[in-house]
Structure 1
C-alpha cells in the first residue's frame, strides 16, 4: 500500500520541493514564451525580395542591403495571441453564460459542450482581481499546473519512486508536446490538478477529499467520470470487497459526488430542454462521434496526411506522439503483466491511465484532431515512461528529445496561428 506523505517527507523538505516545482513551472513557461516569441519573428512576412543598393562613391561599404519595411518591426506577444480556439467559448461562458436556445431549434454550434467549472472559476476570480477574463484564465491555469505538479511529485513518492525519478516525471509533463495548453485559458491544468488530487487522496485513503476532487473533475471535462470510477475502485479494493458498515459512508460519498454534474445537466435541461444537451451537441455540431477505438489511428496508417480539410490537425505530429504513448503502455503491460494480474491496485491504475488514452481515440472516426492534447492528462503514462527507462537511459533521452522538439513545433505553430495545434 502507499505510505502517507507525512511519514515520508520532512516539513522542511516539502518546502524545498514546492519551491523547486515553482521554479520548474516558471522556467518551463518562460522558455515556452521565448519559443513563441522567436517563432513569431523567425520568418519574414514580406513577399518583397531584399535588394542591395549601391552606395555613393567614397563610403566605407560599396553596397547596402535594403530590407523590406515589414522586417523593420518586431512581432511582440500580445494577449490576443493566447486567445484561440476553445478559449473563446470558455471566456464567453465566463462573461455571458451558456447559449440560450432550445436543443430542438435550428442553431449553430453551441457552447454547451464546454463544462462549467473552469469558466465559473474565471467568473468568480474576475470579481476579485478585475483583470481581463483571459488573463484570469491564464492565472488559473498556471496555478492549477503548479498544484498538479506538487500532487504528482508526492504521488510518485507514494508509489516508491526516488526523488530524482519523481522530478523526471514532472520534467516530462512540462516538456510534453502540448504542455503549452497548461498555460492557456484551457481546462487541461485544472483537470490535471483534480486528477492528481483524486489519485493522491485515494492512495492515502482520504476518501472524502478524493471524492470531492473527482466530483469536480466531472464538471471540468467529459473524462472526469474516470476519476470518479478510480476513486470508487480504490475504496472497493481497500475494503477487499467485504461488507462493512463503512460502505454506507462510501455510498453516500459516491452519491454526493454526482451533485455537480447533476446540477450542470439540470441547468442544461432548463436552458435547452435536454438534460444531455452537452453530449448530443458534440455529434450535432462539433464533429465528435462515438466510434470504434483507434479507428482514426488505423485510417492514418492507410492515408497519411499533414492537415485536415479544415486545417485542424497536423496528422504526422499527432501520429508520432500517439505511437510514442502506445509503445509505453504496451511495453509496460507486457513487462509487468504478472504484477498487474496479482496487484489489484496496480491494475486499477493501469486501466485508469489507459482509459484516458482510449477516449480521445473513440470520439473522432476520421482524423487525429486534438488527441495529443487530450492524452497529456494521463498521469500513469509519465510514471510508466520513467519506470521503463530506469535502466535504459537512452530510451528516456530519446523521449525527452522527441518531446522537446515537437513542443517547439507546436508552440511556434500556435503563436503563428496554425490550427493544427488544437
Structure 2
C-alpha cells in the first residue's frame, strides 16, 4: 500500500514538474515574441471597439445631406473616408493639379496616394479599400515599432505594453483607420527614431526620406537623426562650451563622414516633390501657396497660442470656442508635464 502511495506521489510530482516546465517554456516563448503579440492584441481589440463605435454612430446619428460618400456600395468603407480623404483618392486616381489661390490637391504629399494606387491593383482597383488597408497595416507596424522603441529607451516591457495600448486606444486613434496619412506618418517617424537610436543610419535615412514624402513635417526627422548622430559621436549641447566636445565632434566627422552622407538623403522626399511641382506647374512651393485657400497661415506657435487665448476672452461663445479651449488646455497641460518627464 505504501509502495502504491509512493508511486502515486512520484507520478503527481512528475506531472507537476512537467506542467511547471511547460508553463515556464510557454511564458519564455511569449516573452520572446511579446513585441509582436502585444501590438497585435492592442491593434485587434482597439480596432474592434472603434468599428463598433462607428457602426453605432452610423446607425443612430443622422448624416446631413450633401456630404461626400466615398463608397455608396460599402457603408463600412465610407466610415473611414471622410473630409480630406477625397483629396487622397483624387490624387491616386487622377494625379495632381494646381490652381493658384484655390484649394488644390498639391497641398497633399505623394507617398500615401502612391501606396493607395499600388495596393489598389490587388483589390480590384478599389482606392477606398486600398487606403483603408494601407492605413491599418501601417498602424500595426507602427505599434510594433513603438513597442520596440519603448523597450529600447526604458528597458521596461510593462511600459512598452502601456505605450502601445495608450496609442491604440487614444480618443483620436480612430484617425489611424481613416484614409489619411496619420498611420503611415506615425510608422515612418517611429521607425526613423528607432533605427537612429540603434545607430542604423541607412534604415533611419530610408524611413526619414519616406516621412518627408508623406507630410511636410517629415523634414524634422532630418534634424532628429542628426541630433542622434551628434550624441553618438560624443557631442552634447550641455558641454558645447568645452573644447573636448568639439574635439569629439571633429573625430567623429573624420571617422564617420559617410554616415552623414547617408543621413543627408532624408530631405530628398520633400525635395523630389518640390522638383515635381516645379517641373509640372513651375511652382516648387505650390504646396505652401495653396494653404491660404484653407485660411491657413504660417504665423508660428506663439502667435497661434495668443490667437486661441484671445478667442477664449471673447464675450460670446462662438463655435470655435471649445476647440480653442482644448488647444490652450492641452498646451499648458503638456507644458506642466515637461519638468516631470525631464526629471525621469
Q: Which residue number corresponds to residue 50 of structure 2? A: 32
Q: Deviations over 1:304-336 (max 9, x none)?
A: 75634xxxxxx4256336524641x32332235
State whether residues 202 and 234 of structure 1, in contact with CA within 8 Å, keep that contact through their aligned partners in structure 2. Answer: yes
Q: 1:94 aligns with which of 75, 92, 95?
A: 92
State whether residues 80 and 177 of structure 2, in contact with CA within 8 Å, keep that contact through their aligned partners in structure 1. Answer: no
Cα distance change, pair 44–94 in 1 and its aligned pair in 2 (3 A): closer
What are the within-5 Å matches in structure 2 for residues 379-394 of structure 1? none
Q: Which residue number corresponds to residue 16 of structure 2? A: none
Q: 1:260 aligns with which of 261, 269, 292?
A: 269
What are the within-5 Å matches in structure 2 for residues 8-407 of structure 1? 13-42=31-60, 77-100=75-98, 103=100, 108-241=102-235, 242-243=249-250, 244=252, 245-283=254-292, 285-293=293-301, 294-303=305-314, 305=317, 307-308=319-320, 315-316=321-322, 319-320=325-326, 323-324=329-330, 326-327=332-333, 329-335=334-340, 337=342, 339=343
What is the number of residues matched between the two proteins? 288
State whether residues 37 and 77 of structure 1, in contact with CA within 8 Å, keep that contact through their aligned partners in structure 2. Answer: no
State whether residues 225 and 263 of structure 2, in contact with CA within 8 Å, keep that contact through their aligned partners in structure 1. Answer: no
Residue 31 of structure 1: how far off its partner (Å): 0.9
Q: Which residue number corresponds to residue 377 of structure 1? A: none
Find the aligned partners of 1:178 and 1:280 in 2 and give their Cα distance: 29
> Structure 1: which 4+ aligned runs deviate by more than 6 Å?
none
Find the aligned partners of 1:161 and 1:330 in 2 and give their Cα distance: 26
Residue 210 of structure 1: how far off its partner (Å): 0.9
Find the aligned partners of 2:339 and 2:38 in 1 and give their Cα distance: 35
Q: Which residue number corresponds to residue 417 of structure 1? A: none
Find the aligned partners of 1:132 and 1:199 in 2 and give their Cα distance: 33
Residue 123 of structure 1: how far off its partner (Å): 0.9
Find the aligned partners of 2:62 and 2:124 in 1 and give their Cα distance: 37
Cα distance change, pair 316–188 in 1 and its aligned pair in 2 (3 A): same
Find the aligned partners of 2:53 and 2:318 in 1 and give their Cα distance: 22
Report SS of the residue matched to 1:274: coil
Q: Which residue number corresponds to residue 392 of structure 1? A: none
Residue 288 of structure 1: how far off its partner (Å): 1.4
State whether residues 117 and 220 of structure 1, in contact with CA within 8 Å, keep that contact through their aligned partners in structure 2. Answer: yes
**5+ unaligned residues in a row in structure 2: which ranges?**
1-27, 64-73, 236-248
Structure 1 length normalisation: TM-score? 0.63
Residue 295 of structure 1: how far off its partner (Å): 2.7
Find the aligned partners of 2:209 and 2:332 in 1 and give their Cα distance: 28
RMSD in angstroms over aligned alpha carbons? Answer: 2.4
**5+ unaligned residues in a row in structure 1: which ranges?**
1-9, 46-75, 309-314, 340-386, 388-422
- Greater RCO structure (CA 8 Å; 6+ sep): 1
Cα distance change, pair 212–16 in 1 and its aligned pair in 2 (3 A): same
Structure having the higher helix fraction is: 2
